[in-house]
Amino acid sequence: MSLTEAGRALARQSEVMAGLQARFGPPRFGPQPKVGERFEILCGEIAYQQLAGKAAAAIWGRVRSLSTTWVPAAVLALGEEPLRSAGLSGAKTRAMLDLAAHCERGSLNLAGLGRMSDEEVVAQLSQVWGVGVWTAQMFLIFSLRRLDVWPVGDLGVRKGYGLAHGWTEPPTADELEPLGDQFRPYRSVAAWYCWRATGES
């Protein structure tokens, strides 16, 4: 099913989502990434962890400019100091280098992730130090185009859900988890509309 079709189906399921679709139009996840771009995408997601969009984009831009080709061997060749100097925290530097090491030695096969279940993808990516559920979920949504991912740990999704429903406070992750059931099997699309509702992305 296409994103547009999923958005229409979601609007039929939920009046709130229908209202968000009227405001923001059909869901747009950007171009479908190629398999060979997955390592770079994951590095970008590491850079974006726990940061607002503009700040993260600036840091990731500096980091990415360190090498003309962004592949595991090139990142390992850079080492820690250039990554830190470009603005990455120590933890994110360690995570990016560990991701590169896993890919370089073959313990993580990014090309094979598309054939795995959501749970298997999360388990595979979680081998990497500093890569947790949020990073894996962003990868599932934006790289693998999985339509039924519900990232309750994302503050933007929680804030957007609360705003869309007229709440004074956003739900906690535990509170939001069951609230996503009404959006199955298009929870990724619902999350996208929640992000839009915050006005921050």
Q: What's the pLDDT tens digit per position in 175-198?
A: 999 999 999 999 999 999 999 999
Structure-block tokens of residue 146: 């999985």
> Is the pLDDT reported for residue 32 higher than 60?
yes
Listed in order, the ranges of the chain carrying CATH 1.10.1670.40 are 3-29+149-197
- pLDDT (tens digit per residue) in 81-116: 999 999 999 999 999 999 999 999 999 999 999 999
Domain with CATH 1.10.340.30 in the chain: 35-142
Give the tens place of pLDDT for each residue, 120-161. Answer: 999 999 999 999 999 999 999 999 999 999 999 999 999 999
pTM above 0.85, yes or no: yes
Q: Which CATH class is domain 3-29+149-197?
A: mainly alpha
- Residue 64 tokens read as 């990415």
* CATH superfamily, region 35-142: Hypothetical protein; domain 2 (1.10.340.30)
Q: Do 87 and 59 contact (CB within 8 A), yes or no?
A: yes
Report the C-alpha gap between 179 and 42 in whole angstroms: 28
